[in-house]
Amino acid sequence: MQVLRVEHRDFELFIDSAKYTENVRRAEKKQVLVTGYDWTGSSGIPEKIYVSQPDGTEKAAGKSEDAPVVFFENTAYDFMLTFRDRSVVKNARVFSLLKETNGSFVFRNGNLYGGLNFGNDIGKSQLEFRYEINGEACSFILWFEVFPVKLDYKNDLKSILQDIEEEYPKYVLDYLRKTYLNFREQPCDATGPEVIWWNIFRSIQSGFLQACKRILTHPSRRLLECTEYKRAARIRRFSPAQEEEYAIYREDEKHLYRCSSQNLSADTTENRFLKYVLGRVTGRYLLLEKRIQGKYKKKLSGEAVLEMEETGEVLKKLYSHPFFRAVGRFRGVRQESLVLQRAPGYAAVCRYWIMLKCAYRMLDGMHQMETKDIAHLYEVWCFIMLKKMIEEETGISPDRIRTVQADGKFVFEFHKGTASRIQFIREDNSLIDLYYNPKFTSEDVASQLPDTVSVTVPQQPDIILRITPNDLHQEYTLTYLFDAKYRLKSDKDGCEPDLPPDDAINQMHRYRDAIFFKDKAQKDEPLKKEVIGGYILFPGDGKAEEIRKQRYYLSVGEVNIGAFPLTPHSDNKELRELLQGFVGSLLVKETDKVMEEIIPQKGMLYECPNPDVLVGVTRIPPEDWERLYQQKYVSGERIPAQFGKRKLRYFAPYFPGKGVVCYYEIEGYSVQKRNEIYASSHPLYKNDPSERLVVRLGKKYVIGEDEYFVLDNVNPYRYVDLKSLTHPVGKKIKITP
């Protein structure tokens, strides 16, 4: 179907797309499909262009007038530029910085034709056609916008970019894309530039230092002509001019002859620029390092201080390198330098210097900035959204969150193929780790999560959530996979709500089947399943009540494989709550409960761990127990033996003359002085400075309906396992050795 037509004095341009109607039907559910077109070029440019509408008619559109959208992501377009007088046209072509775009067009028999697919690139774009008529160079440039089908172009894209920029400054930027977005320089307050500069430099620090070292190892030099004057005896070989001069002054031994030579010099504009940049970066880094260590002295770890100091020393060492003794003062670049643009090391330093000079603001200006493709941005955005959901569910303040690589190094940005981890440390020392893009292989070095392997082929899911609970099952780590897919299932029939692609769901099954746990310290140990569940995140829409009825959502509860829609829509709060509620349930779910929900293989039963229970004698009557003890148990002067060595999870109070009727989860424990446990007004207060074991108690479980069970020789403590406690033989509970 023809989607756009240009009437020009020199040619006619026709643009066709077979998916136009389908794209419009799907995209209009997400957004208003209105855009503007612009053009310029040599004489004879049209006053209007003709844009197709969904009903098949054409609409004439002037410059920047509201017009229908015809360009969409992941759609093939056929271009045909037919010249009116083919005999006078030569060298017609498309001009672009992208080799791929230029190579997709062919000029043959007076026609220029080709194909173009913007893939996952969305935003503004342009096509420039160049040609010659009777030897005169001509051009025509068409500006347009490429819209997404699965998101709201005006609102969703802006939200995604802002969310990513907030977490990883400048990460959205890219080069040589088919589309771009607008930006303007962002003014900052008095403290803003320093903070921005510091964060940006930390993110590029490794690359910047590596580029500087590379230059000092292989610097650029230039030939310079040097002139000096020598006596005849010091000249090894005479030039013809010197021979003539020597014939005149042969008798004068003190006569000086002019000697010229060419030497390689390091005093080039590029090396002066490097010296200048190193000086400015070193000076600012050392200044900010001093301010940060002074202001955040109490918050900075020793390792962080050491890392800052080491970086400062490296910068000072580079700036004082003997190489720069022969390099002069930088006075600016008077003409374009191919060395700064292309040479290894120099180009990187130049790029990093530009990044350090200013902040910016997306979608608010006239400057062009290319960004990463929307599929990759959506993937990173999903990672950030999961991080924020965990923050909200746990209530952990940002200063308790660390972004680290799998090897423990602090990072500010991440890339495809590099595992980044955000770690949450709870008050009970349980851990929540959120990984981005870790890789699993059969090789110990390549696998980026401890003791995890993929025996067959490498596996690389987008996001991994690992929970290491502190419920006394220290050997357990609960692993869940999330894969962000910027795709929807084909819905030619216009079905609602949006559905995730089938192959993405199947991929989660493959991940769960391919990724195993293998204790590297125990080489003879067999492989064990690692992944509990896998879930697709996709840019779907629909009503929450409809989503709950979908097969892909119901399967989460049945087999722990499924999908969740996730978009930045401000009016899509209910859909986001579906995912957030699920994530919240994973964070609080007990290990035993998780183990019980795992579907066993046919003929097998997966048994949950059987932890120890501390049974302690209390002198308080059962009716007053909970009121007086206030969710904690206080030991006697003698602390229970082997308390720290047992895999304790529960505590059961033993009432003398009666026995055990209930037990509690252990949330934590501490050693406190007796006179500091309760307030002086409390009935159990005692002015005693001796230490006691204080066990914090949580959820309560009743063994029987007011039925007590006894143990032999309890006083003052005994250990039993949970099964023996909850399944007594008769009225008696078996004691654990």
**Cα distance from N-terminal residue to C-terminal residue, the chain:** 81
pLDDT value at position 417?
39
For the chain, what is the radius of gyration of the CA atoms? 36
Beta carbons of 655 and 618 less than 8 angstroms apart = yes
Residue 192 has pLDDT above 50, yes or no: no
Q: List the alpha helices (DSSP H) in 465-550.
A: 502-514, 544-547
Question: What is the band of 401 on the pLDDT scale with cuts at 50, 70, 90?
Answer: very low
**Single-letter amino acid, residue 296:** Y
Residue 112 has pLDDT above 90, yes or no: yes
Sign of CA dihedral 619, 622, 623, 625: positive
Residue 183 has pLDDT above 70, yes or no: no
Cα 409 from chain centroid?
A: 15
pLDDT value at position 530?
83
The residues with which 129 forms a beta bridge, in sequence order, are 94, 140
Question: What phi and psi values does residue 497 have, to the nearest 5 degrees?
Answer: -75, 180
Residues 652-671 pLDDT 10s: 888 888 888 888 888 777 88
Residues 145-161 pLDDT 10s: 999 999 998 889 888 88
Question: What is the band of 561 on the pLDDT scale with cuts at 50, 70, 90?
Answer: very high
**Dist. CA 182–CA 124, nearest whole Å:** 8
Question: What phi and psi values does residue 312 have, to the nearest 5 degrees?
Answer: -60, -40
Mean pLDDT calculated for residue range 4-8:
93
pLDDT value at position 400?
44
**Dist. CA 202–CA 189, nearest whole Å:** 21
DSSP 8-state code for residue 400: G
Range with the poorest average pLDDT among 273-287, 294-308, 678-692: 294-308
Residue 89 has pLDDT above 80, yes or no: yes
**Dist. CA 66–CA 484, nearest whole Å:** 34
Sign of CA dihedral 588, 402, 485, 418: negative
How many residues belong to the chain? 737
Beta carbons of 377 and 574 less than 8 angstroms apart = no
**Dist. CA 511–CA 350, nearest whole Å:** 42
Residue 705 has pLDDT above 80, yes or no: no
pLDDT value at position 105?
92
Mean pLDDT calculated for residue range 191-216:
77
**Dist. CA 646–CA 591, nearest whole Å:** 17
Strands across the sheet containing 401-405:
401-405, 420-425, 431-436, 463-468, 478-484, 531-538, 561-565
Residues 724-735 pLDDT 10s: 888 777 777 766
The residues with which 15 forms a beta bridge, in sequence order, are 4, 79
Over the chain, what is the mean pLDDT?
A: 80
Reduced to 3 states (helix: H, G, I; strand: E, B; else coil), residue 12 is: strand
Beta carbons of 480 and 533 less than 8 angstroms apart = yes
Beta carbons of 465 and 482 less than 8 angstroms apart = yes
Residue 402 has pLDDT above 60, yes or no: no
pLDDT value at position 637?
77
Beta carbons of 122 and 153 less than 8 angstroms apart = yes
Share of the chain above pLDDT 70, in %: 80
Beta carbons of 282 and 209 less than 8 angstroms apart = no
pLDDT value at position 405?
39
Question: What phi and psi values does residue 43 have, to the nearest 5 degrees?
Answer: -60, 155
pLDDT value at position 647?
64
Q: Residue 244 corresponds to which tokens in the numbers above?
A: 């003539």
**Dist. CA 112–CA 83, nearest whole Å:** 8
Beta carbons of 50 and 5 less than 8 angstroms apart = yes
pLDDT value at position 641?
66
The residues with which 487 forms a beta bridge, in sequence order, are none
Mean pLDDT calculated for residue range 295-316:
81
Query: Which of these, 189, 200, 194, 206, lies nearest to 165 by C-alpha position?
Result: 200
Question: What is the band of 359 on the pLDDT scale with cuts at 50, 70, 90?
Answer: low
Reduced to 3 states (helix: H, G, I; strand: E, B; else coil), residue 146 is: strand
**Dist. CA 220–CA 67, nearest whole Å:** 53
pLDDT value at position 569?
75
Residues 585-609 pLDDT 10s: 888 877 767 776 777 666 665 656 6
The pTM of the full predicted model, rounded to 2 decimals, is 0.62
**Dist. CA 685–CA 669, nearest whole Å:** 19
Beta carbons of 537 and 507 less than 8 angstroms apart = no
Q: List the alpha helices (DSSP H) in 76-182.
A: 99-103, 156-167
Beta carbons of 576 and 688 less than 8 angstroms apart = no
**Dist. CA 148–CA 73, nearest whole Å:** 5
**Dist. CA 323–CA 318, nearest whole Å:** 9
Reduced to 3 states (helix: H, G, I; strand: E, B; else coil), residue 46 is: coil
Instruction: Count Cα neighbours of 603 within 13 Å in the Cβ-side half-sphere.
Output: 0
